[in-house]
Structure 1
Amino acid sequence: MLASPADIPYLASLLEGLAQYFPLSLSIVCTLLLLALLTSAMSAAVGVGGGTLLIMFMAQLMPAAALIPVHGMVQLGSNGGRMAMTWRHIDMRRLLAFLPGVALGALVAAWVLIRLPEGVLELSIALFVLFTCWGPALPKRALSRTGTLIAGAITTFLSNLIGASGPLVASFIKQGGGERHAKVATFAACMVAQHLTKAFIFGMAGFLFQEWLPLIVLMIGAGLIGTRLGLRFLDRVSNRHFDGLFKWALSLLALRLAWLGSASLISH
């Protein structure tokens, strides 16, 4: 039922009252909620890409200082929901090998700042992702327990610097084989571990999470709805078709990173 003209002052005061709980305008908040839903659905359905796409949009809508910590907490909730919905499919052997590397990478990120020429990081990630998608399979040593630990450390370190290391983690998960549900579930569990470190690192750095908590909670809720929608698609697609979608989604993200990296290097 549409609101009558008499309701307009009431609706205006309601919106004004809600606005005080957010550090951004209500129009931006609504946009972010929609993006959280759509990108979570993408990650659940295709296995990757939602987090990277979300941070790209968030970078245009919110302060840079809040971008990585807020995105990290939203992705923690989104991936946590996906992990809870698919926990039976998690490859525990790979996850347990990944976790020590997460702790190591987080410790290094908390104490070390590395300044690379702008664009080099994006190009490096893009080339690695494209290689794992279209090049020869990684040697078995790279997929061993030690190799998985190293991958966990490097990707966690990068995650705390650039915000979204999802394509890098996903490309490593892809090389390990397995059916589609196992890939989605294991990827979600690995990302939960990585994003959890951001609460510690940015909290220690003095970021005030409580100012952004209402927005974070609402975006997590929207992400859980998107995850449920995406998993319905995942149940209907075959392993062969999922692998194709997964590979192309990774490749498109990598090409965009390569474009951004090249543009940064050329402009400098």
Structure 2
Amino acid sequence: MGVFSATIILASLLTSVISGIFGMAGGLILMGIFTWMLPAASALALHGIIQFASNLWRLLLHRAHVEWRVLLTFGLGSALAMGLFALITWVPTKAFVFLVLGLLPILVWVPERRLSLDALNPWHSVIGGFGSTILSLLSGVSGPLTDLLFVRTAMGRHRIVATKAAMQAIGHASKILVYGTVLLSASSRAVVPMTMVTVAVLASMVGIVIGGRILDRMSDSHFKAARRWIVTSMGVIFLIQAAEILL
């Protein structure tokens, strides 16, 4: 196994552990790694495949905690976003992806007292599904935006993680539909072989299990505080990377 494949697999494992604990933080880090190593469209497609499998596995593990009624309205908003994006032919560049990844952490610092969003509110969920899917298709990650739907919710950490896993799975599935064909070309298969993708998916599933065990031992307050600082630190790194490309 080459260094490239080993790096992809190890990154999938470690970031899935983070995802199993904090939800979107692992996906944000993984998207940054893939964007650094691959062309933007290939990074979006590969990230979509691995994160879809990871979030689907997380959903299955925590299915007892999922708020299924929220997913119906969130899915409606996502479908509307997909319809709109079907009219767009623009593909984001590396610099654009890093820039958006770097700016996304701003959302986790929005004062909660200024927001009254709740995923249990159908209108909030529809709007969240629309915005999250658009952001996912443009930058690969939408977790910080999806998080805003849980600012005023009465859900505990397990219900939040489980419901967000289903929401994120929807967003990652949209990336597979839009960018997935990129990985089917002969040149892409030479760089990103399906065997490596399969092992990376399995590694992500193992990581989710490990992260879930850690989540069980964490308090709600520690969960929210640690997530903010992890995401913010990565955002600074991504902004520096965007600046290096643009300048």
How high is the TM-score relative to the length of structure 2?
A: 0.82
Say which one has the larger Rg. Answer: 1
Structure 1 pair 42/174, CA: closer, same or farther in 2 (3 Å)? Answer: farther
Structure 1 pair 123/53, CA: closer, same or farther in 2 (3 Å)? Answer: closer
Q: Which residue of the other structure, out of 107, 124, 144, is the alignment partner of 1:128? A: 107
Q: Which residue of the other structure, out of 245, 249, 253, is the alignment partner of 2:226? A: 245
In the other structure, the counterpart of 1:219 is 200
* Number of equivalences: 239
Distance 1:225 1:64 in 2: 26
Following superposition, the deviation at residue 225 of structure 1 comes to: 0.7
Following superposition, the deviation at residue 141 of structure 1 comes to: 7.8
| Residue 181 in structure 1 maps to residue 158 in structure 2 | yes
Conserved? CA contact 1:127–1:258, under 8 Å: no
Question: Deviation string for 1:191-242 (max 9, x for gaps)?
Answer: 1111112222224x66517934322211110001111111110111122322
Q: Which secondary structure does the structure 1 equivalent of 2:62 belong to?
A: helix
In the other structure, the counterpart of 1:139 is 116
Output the amino acid matched with 1:148.
S
In the other structure, the counterpart of 1:59 is 35
Question: Deviation string for 1:114-160 (max 9, x for gaps)?
Answer: 699958755763433321xx342412588621121111111101111
In the other structure, the counterpart of 2:216 is 235
Following superposition, the deviation at residue 182 of structure 1 comes to: 0.8
| Residue 72 in structure 1 maps to residue 53 in structure 2 | no
| Residue 40 in structure 1 maps to residue 19 in structure 2 | no
Gap runs ≥5 in structure 1: 1-14, 16-25
Gap runs ≥5 in structure 2: none
Structure 1 pair 230/122, CA: closer, same or farther in 2 (3 Å)? Answer: closer
In the other structure, the counterpart of 2:75 is 99
How high is the TM-score relative to the length of structure 1?
A: 0.77
Conserved? CA contact 1:109–1:161, under 8 Å: no
Output the amino acid matched with 2:155.
G
User: Over aligned residue pairs, what C-alpha RMSD do you find?
Assistant: 3.0
